[in-house]
Amino acid sequence: MLRLHVSCGLIPPAKTSNIGKNYKSSVLQFPGVRWVCAKALREEANGGGSGFVGRNWDPGLEVEVPFEQRPVNEYSSLKDGPLYSWGELSPGPFFLRIGGLWLVTFTVLGIPIAAASFNPSREPLRFLLAAGTGTLFLVALVVLRIYLGWSYVGDRLLSAVIPYEETGWYDGQMWVKPPEVLARDRLLGSYK
């Protein structure tokens, strides 16, 4: 749930002072003006990923960029995704999962397709090479997809200006990140 927290004071009427005799010119003065402060608060059960329970202030909420198109939210959804989360694994578990994917793909797709092309009893070498190569190609496509997804989000985190679409009707807009959002995104993009 989003809430808008606004705190402000009353603005007194302006006082005018004439500064010229031959022409009409005046200076407006606002004695005792108080600034209006507004914050967008998001209340979530887990604190919005910040480690705090309750309200979480996100400076990115003050713009019109849709929630799912903000680079930080794209990063968190990528990190939590079933396939893209492999990009954050250390090399050992990553290669173990890639090997498991290769084995499953080899068994389910590679062997039947290669058996239709080559007779395993007469041409075992061609059969194994065809099954292994086809499977390796599919696994390489999966690894390429993981890399491209992380590269896209990393570029959006490091960029000072990001494109977004308000309605999904190809009405592309550009958003210039405020300094605090840019610093947070660049820190996240550099170390993750």
pLDDT (tens digit, 0 to 9) for every residue of the chain, 192 residues total?
Answer: 445 444 444 555 555 555 555 544 444 455 555 544 444 445 555 444 444 444 454 554 445 678 888 899 999 999 999 999 999 999 999 999 999 999 999 999 999 999 999 999 999 999 999 999 999 999 999 999 999 999 999 999 999 998 888 776 667 788 888 888 899 999 998 887
Where is the domain boundary, 14, 39, 57? 57
Spatial distance between the Cα atoms of 94 and 50, rounded to a whole number of angstroms: 27
Number of structural domains (the chain) is 2
Domain stops at, among 57, 79, 101: 57
Spatial CB neighbours of 80, under 8 Å, sequence gap ≥ 6: none
Specify whether 108 is located in the same domain as 150.
yes
Q: Are residues 75 and 125 in the same domain?
A: yes
Q: Domain range for residue 5?
A: 1-57
The reply to whether 82 and 33 lie within a common domain is no
Both 88 and 183 in a single domain?
yes
Do 20 and 84 sit in the same domain of this protein?
A: no
Task: Give yes or no: residues 97 and 154 share one domain.
Answer: yes
Are residues 137 and 158 located together in one domain of the fold? yes
Residue ending a domain, choose from 57, 76, 97: 57
pLDDT attached to residue 37: 45
Instruction: Please check whether residues 32 and 7 belong to one and the same domain.
Output: yes
pTM: 0.63
